[in-house]
Structure 1
């Protein structure tokens, strides 16, 4: 009898249910893309269906929770009377079974009966209902505080008005926007509470109340400094763009903090203040500093087939005398195997930069340098010294002026001459690209560089001459035409023009003449490979006028890679005006690998009308774009 009963029970039992229960979630669109994204982000059914599968009973709990989660997402967009339908069905090749409502009390038993081989489909349908709008907006004074009335500017800062859609994000944002506005007006101790809202179903509106405490208008009090071990506090004070007694404004305080951070001697700068005023009614500020390492060592390198390899090391002292002075010593080996070089050379120099020399935004720079380079055009051994002022006159413009002397010996075509050159270089630069680091690629805007250098050669025949040169580059992002994503596809154009006045070509020292060829002007030609040359040789004469132009297309590929195509053209002549001489053109392509400090560049270029004895191709490797 017992065996018979057992057999009957087994015969009536359902197939083994799946545990965990696999399912797929389908959320039907509402017609509002932003709302749909919020609903999908809020749904645990959708977000956890692959990574956190659960038993049928736990899945029913997840369905019940999604009603509340999806309702919260809808309410955040102002839909306070929606209809949410969640249904479950068995999915098969022939469609789905009769849907089961998510609120059905028999849903757990129904899920438990689903065979393990079946997959379930859960669909979510939403009827938004009417969108609620903002009703009355009240500004309430805190208990025991005087009444608060906002002026027109402060009302505008709230960012909400009666009649606007009742979006939760906008209402909550009103708190931070008003807090920021009051602080910028000098109310350092102002307090704006989280908005409170009351639902009015009869009018389909939400009334909003915000409690505000203004407090007094506050000026800055005394400044204190901590963490300054090697930097003079007096210099930090001179660098500050704020001072005690001025109106408290968080934006100006943050700008001052960033200005100190940009000095290059601090790894971190923080500004703190208490939430209570000093006895005189001002608000003191405490600046805390973490100083950077005093010394650093860097390695420099590059390669092109014309100038060969360039490798060296530099040592930098970041705070030489306690006022952010920077001393950099550099030693480079040059001319390692280049087609425009006849042998190994060197470049040794010491740079000193003193910031805020004489006035703010004005730096003193000085250099002592020893050079030896064995170019095919000439062999040069030189010692030079220069000093100058670089002044920032606006967010885009910088000007520089100074003096330079150079003693050099140059061998050219079996002749050796010594020169002593004195010059007064003047320059102005404009950068409207918005790129702070010149190594990082620009995607829009214009860069301009202009140089005028009056010079005198005072040995081996005296001559006076003036070198003038200007370069303009601009960048156009195809995203402006809707043809690409921002920063992915960019055209870059560069033009350079130069002229030497006051002396003929042979009255000017060879290193002061104008040349073209190489990555700075016309790629595909070796350095100094464009322009007049001595007969039957690779020696460039140089000239007194020069012009060159480049057109480059830059395409980002995936996240870290890119490709470049370009064409360059230029000419050099011994005339008094540019746009004369034999025009040479080159074309090529390159690859980019983008790193946090800038793109690694590899370009290959070929000459399109190669001169006699010219190279057939050139390779360029470096860091950063060519322009």
Structure 2
């Protein structure tokens, strides 16, 4: 029976270490003394895919073959060093009796004639190197021993069971999980030493011992925030949910750190625990904050063949009154060119956001905007207002309700009408995605209902807009490199006839947000001249596959489909399908997007192709 730290089996003893150093010195010297000898490597499969990958990654005979050619002595030294590396890999996965055999030119490494064989071998064909393994028995954990005074449930916190394969990584990970669990249960000063393993060769088992010192459960001492300058301490205090005297719990501390970071007023938030207990034997906690720049200015640009070029800029104050209030001024020029536009448009907006409005998880948004749109579908000049209250119910769920007055003048088919409307938008949003501009997993589901009525002097009847939008993202275990993205939209308008609706309130499809490959708003019922009429119901769907290439590049392939119907029957319109490919360049602030799309079943007002350029994924 042999006793050792569990990772000692992965370390090379001092004699072996000395031997490897001498071998490496010989390899360096020999590299200058002999011509390099080309060689090929054949590494046998073990039947364990994970082990095969680890062995391949450990093999310098493979990784240095072309990068660092060597002569006979250095080649043998490299092979001997790989024997040690392979042994470590075998033992780390539980094969403690595993053996490695490397043969060069069909001779073992201890063959005295090996050097001469290599020295006098021709450069072509390369000399063969064959690597074989005898795994032996897979060791399993027999018993787990916790040495020290620990809570009764501590054994469960290891998350390692008897009879499990004796993998070094699992045994070490169990130590880390035990330590985290102890800290999570208030043992802030707990220590768990490196595990000690007893090898039992007769039964191919390990006994693993963890020496644990828990100390006493600790409560929090003074909770303070350092680094505040312009931010109101009261605002910060409303976002801290921990206080002196509460049990020490790392997850709760981290949750509060993230809450401060998410306020948007800090560039960084770090946690610093006290080095020692205070006089009350409590552990102080300090949040070290750095306030972000109070003002930021950004410029943006986008282009598509249907809507042309657009340029925008905005100025934002991130902490207007000290409580995280945001004031945003936006101005943009739109519709510069484009096959779906008839003139240049603009948008100007002022937005004010007040967090913690009447409640810590409630935000008040107010917005005033002036827009001009000159589209093939209609021309519009409008003044829009909005007061919106949003409430975060959980990490994933958010609800909102508001009021949206608007005054607009719209011309369609040479007929001009003025509209003075009031809408009451209400929505519920589920969002579990991991990124705003480049989501790779999670889902977004947003049902909404918006009653709209006339305020004064309008013949418009009241109506209700009902929509359900959703998108979801599947990462194929590639850390975001291979992603399947799906998108869908259903919508219906109730309470008024199609031509009783203002043109801008009707549904349209076509363009980057619905069906790429078709001109903006072009899908659906048409007037006699081919211009879009809009409809009362919409249904669209998208399938998109995203594949990253190298570090900063990516390609996508997508298919969009959609229809707009003149009435409320979702299936009464003609379905149009667009398909295309795209390129992505990934930057630190999001991917730059270029999409090229074709209409599969063209209609009379669709072009031959469309191009879209912008920041962020299409959805």
Per the normalisation by structure 1, the TM-score is 0.82
In 1, Cα distance between the equivalents of 2:39 and 2:602? Answer: 67
Kept after mapping to 2: 8 A contact 1:392/1:399: yes
Moved more, 507-516 or 328-337: 507-516
- What corresponds to 1:251 in structure 2? 251
Which residues of 2 match residues 136-285 of structure 1 at below 5 A?
A: 136-141=143-148, 148-152=149-153, 154-285=154-285
- 1:409-452 Cα deviation digits (max 9, x unpaired): 33445554433322222122233xx423343255664x433332
Distance 1:203 1:517, change over 3 A: closer
Deviation at 1:523, TM superposition (A): 4.6
Distance 1:103 1:605, change over 3 A: closer
In 2, Cα distance between the equivalents of 1:515 and 1:414? Answer: 19
In 2, Cα distance between the equivalents of 1:393 and 1:449? Answer: 14
Kept after mapping to 2: 8 A contact 1:515/1:572: no
Kept after mapping to 1: 8 A contact 2:350/2:369: yes
In 2, Cα distance between the equivalents of 1:30 and 1:411? Answer: 74
Distance 1:423 1:68, change over 3 A: closer
In 1, Cα distance between the equivalents of 2:517 and 2:61? Answer: 60
Deviation at 1:62, TM superposition (A): 4.1
In 2, Cα distance between the equivalents of 1:50 and 1:580? Answer: 62
In 1, Cα distance between the equivalents of 2:447 and 2:202? Answer: 70
Deviation at 1:336, TM superposition (A): 1.5
Deviation at 1:186, TM superposition (A): 0.6
Q: Does 1:126 align with 2:158?
A: no
Distance 1:200 1:581, change over 3 A: closer
In 2, Cα distance between the equivalents of 1:453 and 1:162? Answer: 59
In 1, Cα distance between the equivalents of 2:434 and 2:483? Answer: 20
- What corresponds to 2:448 in structure 1? 451
Kept after mapping to 1: 8 A contact 2:440/2:473: no
The DSSP-based 3-state class of the residue aligned with 2:462 is: strand
In 2, Cα distance between the equivalents of 1:376 and 1:25? Answer: 66
Which residues of 2 match residues 498-577 of structure 1 at below 5 A?
A: 498-501=492-495, 503-505=496-498, 507-533=500-526, 535-536=528-529, 538=531, 540-543=532-535, 545-554=536-545, 556=547, 558-559=549-550, 560-573=553-566, 575=567, 577=568
Which residues of 2 match residues 453-468 of structure 1 at below 5 A?
A: 453-461=450-458, 463-468=460-465
Moved more, 310-319 or 129-138: 129-138
In 2, Cα distance between the equivalents of 1:139 and 1:384? Answer: 67
Distance 1:204 1:327, change over 3 A: same
- What corresponds to 2:293 in structure 1? 293
Kept after mapping to 1: 8 A contact 2:542/2:560: yes
The DSSP-based 3-state class of the residue aligned with 1:103 is: coil
Deviation at 1:470, TM superposition (A): 0.9
- What corresponds to 1:35 in structure 2? 51
2:576 to 558, 562, 585: 585
- 1:214-266 Cα deviation digits (max 9, x unpaired): 11111111122222222222212211233322221112211221222222222
Structure ID, larger Rg: 1
Distance 1:339 1:43, change over 3 A: closer
RMSD over aligned CA atoms reads 3.3
Distance 1:304 1:126, change over 3 A: closer
In 2, Cα distance between the equivalents of 1:20 and 1:214? Answer: 58
- What corresponds to 1:10 in structure 2? none
- 1:51-91 Cα deviation digits (max 9, x unpaired): 344454444444444444333333323333344434333xx
- What corresponds to 1:492 in structure 2? 486
Kept after mapping to 2: 8 A contact 1:521/1:570: no
Per the normalisation by structure 2, the TM-score is 0.83
- 1:11-58 Cα deviation digits (max 9, x unpaired): xxxxx9834454444443344333344444444444444434445444
In 2, Cα distance between the equivalents of 1:469 and 1:177? Answer: 48
In 1, Cα distance between the equivalents of 2:530 and 2:400? Answer: 39
Consecutive unaligned residues in structure 2, runs of 5 or more: 1-31
Kept after mapping to 2: 8 A contact 1:497/1:578: no
- What corresponds to 2:92 in structure 1? 76
Query: What is the aligned length?
Result: 582
In 2, Cα distance between the equivalents of 1:401 and 1:214? Answer: 50
In 2, Cα distance between the equivalents of 1:523 and 1:78? Answer: 54
In 1, Cα distance between the equivalents of 2:509 and 2:45? Answer: 62
Which residues of 2 match residues 431-442 of structure 1 at below 5 A?
A: 431=431, 434-441=432-439
Deviation at 1:107, TM superposition (A): 5.2
In 1, Cα distance between the equivalents of 2:59 and 2:485? Answer: 44
Moved more, 447-456 or 379-388: 447-456
- What corresponds to 2:419 in structure 1? 419
Consecutive unaligned residues in structure 1, runs of 5 or more: 1-15, 90-95, 142-147
Kept after mapping to 1: 8 A contact 2:508/2:538: no
